[in-house]
Chains A and B, each alone.
Chain A
Amino acid sequence: MTATRPSARSGVDRPAGPSPLRRLLPGAPATAGPRGSTLLRHLAGAVLAGALVVLLTNQLPPYQNLQVARVCAFLCVTAGYTVLVGLNGQLSLGHGALMATGAYTVALVQRAFDERGVQGRWILPLSLLAAVAATALAGLVIGLAAARLRGPYLAGVTLAVATLVPAVSTIFTGVFNGEQGLRFPAETPPAFLGAYFQPERWLAWIALLAALLTVLLLANLVRSRFGRSLRAVRDDEVAARLAGIHVARTQVLAFVVSAGCAGLGGGVYAVLTATVAPGKFPLELSLFLLMAIVIGGLGSLAGAVWGAVLLVTLQDLPSLLTETFSLSGGLAQRLEGNLALAVFGLILIVVMLAAPGGLHGAVRTVAARLRARRRVPED
């Protein structure tokens, strides 16, 4: 016991020094300066991005639209996650479980209405709101514990949460129906869009709306006073406290916000297939989420977009490869399930070596260099 005590104390009680994640993080954001209203600028950006994606979904076949929808659902999660890990320095490995919380909430709410014969367009937004609320509550509980823990200890606790999901769903089979999971009524496009409107496009629009809302809110949040507090707490807790920031409260709030986003993402993810099962939220999902935001660029919302895209494309990679190269049955079987993990790991290593700031950091560096070169002749 005595041997473990010093490390335990240093992990739990001591206010953390500078976050070990610091090397991966972008520098302090440039001062906003007099650039007009942040909200208006972000709103215009969101409308622009949304319109682009809607245009895209109008052209895409059903399966690709479903992929777009999945990217948007994951974006809700990665955006909230990157704020927590990247901007507040709290490493959670339980975001897969938080997604599951949101997904099961949506399923249970929708089933409750369905069993009572209640139907209506308002059930979907209501169930998603319930998902956000339930997950934020779960986030509050975890966050309260998290505010007392640092680094690997926090990761350990949240890891336990992630492994809890399948256990809970199989022990309380009466409510969650074990491995088989729950089904609820599928979301169909409204009639005014026409009889032949692609259901997958409608799903993509729902997910897109959720993602835009999440990113818009988060973008404003991280540029606000609260966002500055997040960074201050991450960089130096003692300094933050001296500056009058309530460290624990900031950390708990960050966890709640991040959990709410994960709940929304999980809920939307469940809506896409109108089912939820524990197999959707294995431990690997939480690890994949972390890798995705690190590869995308920790702490940046643009990086979260990269991460979400990666998460979805890598899911289909093994079947794509086996179809293109007609591999032998045995090899194809071994690749299924393992390949995504291997590729993810490889990309992670390469990105960390070549561009520690993640894909978004690399893009920004390249763009800055190009801009600089263009300016030279003008001078």
Chain B
Amino acid sequence: MRPTTRRILAAATGLALLAVVPACADDAKQAAENVPGVTDTEVVIGTHQPLTGPAAPGYSKISAATKAYFEHVNSKGGVNGRKIVYKVMDDGYNPANTENVVRKLVLDDKVFALLGGLGTPTHTNVLEFVKTQKVPDLFVSSGSRNWNQPDKYPTTFGWQPDYTVEGKILATWVKQQFPGAKVCHFGQNDDFGRDSLAGVEKVLGAVAAKQTYTTTNQQVGPAIGALKAAGCQVVISASIPGFTALAMGQAAGQGFRAQWVVSNVGADYTTLSNQLGDKKVILEGMVADNYLPMVGDTANPWIQEFTKIHQKYNAANPIDGNAIYGYSMAYTFVQALLAAGKDPTREKLVEAVGKGGFRGPGLTPFRYSGDVHAGYSGVRLNKVQNGAQAYFGPTYTTDDGDAPVTEYTEPPTTPPADAIPTT
């Protein structure tokens, strides 16, 4: 053996022996350390958002509103003396990026909790990681039923009505208004579209035709053509705003006239009319649903309070359904943080949301309980008329199982002073 080889071998053996000595003591110490992300003056939380990419139209404004609301709360002294720091990471609605940025938030930035991570395909892929890290994963910005699996994912909670609840309510309305009509479904090619279709088919039975789109492919022409060929009179659409605009634009282009009934996540009028530009007249008559005050309802006290915050902290963005969404979700988070007590821990926060009982801007109560991690229990329908989107008819609630769709009659709550919850 040559001297160099011998030297390398000796060094390798020595190093290998050293490497075997574990550094575990360090890990145990770190695990026992303080609550991650919480100091005497700050609570650091994080999120993943589609600031770029196919879901950016509309959705990129949600986190700006959430951040603005926290600035408002911080200016009034924060929550129990702690300011909320909201770290927003862009994932471009690409599940592969989401995995990366969520790991960075949790492992590197050491956030206390995740809040409002946006998207069904994106967030689904971090559920396992979130579970092993035991991070509170609050108010995922998506209506997939995946978030409501407390046995499998004990720290994950939904916030908005799930797509099956929504699908059941939309289908019930369609059944009443268009008896015997050919009803079809157009949906995103993932759990978003599938959950919505499941809800619709619970009420209507099998739909006359169903088509899907993929977020990376803008060509919706063939799918819309197939719906037209099937003679659909009503199209229930589970689509993000960019694809609602593409689909309705394509339908108009092909001379396909049907009643469009669109999921709340893809039906914000401001967002859609921005996307469509001159062609926005095709939105007239579009039926959708929501569960928060409508932005055009300037007499609503919640809208008035949120508008004040918007003008002060978020004036660069339009005030639309996405902004109201961001404000309302941030409001629920402050409620949860308050409920977690003066010295919040990750366990206390999860327990507090599990207890539920929050009321806020939403029209219906939350479904949170020990064994349900789903958010709002129902929606109310709205319609675009003369360039404005407004509610009509009663508010409905139901669940994602076989419960009937029932009317909900309790009046909405009014906001506390400055729209900051106190308990």
List residues of A whose CB falls within 8 A of some B CB.
35-36, 40-41, 44-45, 47-48, 50-52, 54-55, 58-59, 61-64, 66, 166, 170, 173, 177-181, 183, 185-186, 188, 193-200, 273-275, 277-280, 315-316, 319, 329, 333, 336-337
Contact = CB atoms under 8 A, between A and B. Distances in A.
Given A199-B132, A333-B90, A337-B92, A179 B22 contact: no
A191 to B, nearest CB: 12
Contacts of A63: 103-104, 107-108
Contact of A48 (B15, B99, B107, B132): B15
Interface of B: 1-2, 4-5, 8-9, 11-13, 15-16, 18-19, 22-24, 27-28, 30-31, 51-52, 60, 64, 89-90, 92, 94-97, 99-101, 103-104, 107-108, 120-121, 124-125, 127-129, 132, 189-191, 214-217
Contact of A186 (B31, B95, B129, B189): B129
Contacts of A186: 128-129, 132
29 contacts: A35-B4, A35-B5, A36-B1, A36-B5, A41-B8, A47-B12, A48-B8, A48-B12, A50-B16, A51-B12, A51-B15, A52-B15, A66-B103, A170-B214, A177-B190, A179-B215, A180-B95, A193-B22, A196-B28, A273-B99, A273-B125, A275-B125, A279-B94, A279-B96, A315-B100, A319-B104, A333-B52, A333-B60, A336-B92
A45 B8 CA distance: 7
A336 B52 contact: yes
Contacts of A166: 216
B90 A336 contact: yes
Contacts of B22: 58, 193-194, 197
Contacts of B18: 51, 55
Contacts, number: 146
Contacts of A55: 15, 18-19
A197 B24 contact: yes
A198 B25 CA distance: 11
Contacts of A193: 22, 24
A138 B421 CA distance: 59
A58 B16 CA distance: 13
A242 to B, nearest CB: 36
A40 B5 contact: yes
Most interface-central of B4, B51, B96 (chain A CB within 10 A): B96
A196 B24 CA distance: 7
Contacts of A333: 51-52, 60, 90
Contacts of A47: 12-13, 15-16
Contacts of A178: 121, 189-190, 214
Contacts of A279: 94-97, 216
Contacts of B99: 273, 275
Contacts of B60: 333
Given A48-B8, A48-B11, A193-B24, A66 B125 contact: no
A194 B127 CA distance: 24
B189 to A, nearest CB: 5
Contacts of A183: 124-125, 127-128
A277 B15 contact: no
Contact of B89 (A198, A199, A319): A319
Contacts of B89: 319
A270 B418 CA distance: 47
Contacts of A180: 95, 120-121, 124-125, 190-191
A58 B31 CA distance: 15
A195 B27 CA distance: 9
Given A185-B128, A279-B94, 17 more contacts: A44-B12, A48-B12, A63-B104, A63-B108, A64-B108, A170-B214, A170-B217, A178-B189, A179-B121, A180-B125, A180-B190, A180-B191, A194-B24, A196-B30, A277-B94, A319-B101, A337-B90
Contacts of A188: 132
Most interface-central of A41, A52, A273 (chain B CB within 10 A): A273
Contacts of B24: 193-194, 196-197
Given A58-B22, A319-B89, A179 B95 contact: yes
Given A36-B1, A44-B9, A186-B132, A179 B189 contact: yes
B104 A181 contact: no
Given A170-B217, A273-B125, A194 B5 contact: no
A119 to B, nearest CB: 15
A45 to B, nearest CB: 6
A280 B96 contact: yes
Contacts of B127: 183
A168 B120 CA distance: 21
Contacts of A200: 107
A199 B64 CA distance: 34
A303 B87 CA distance: 36
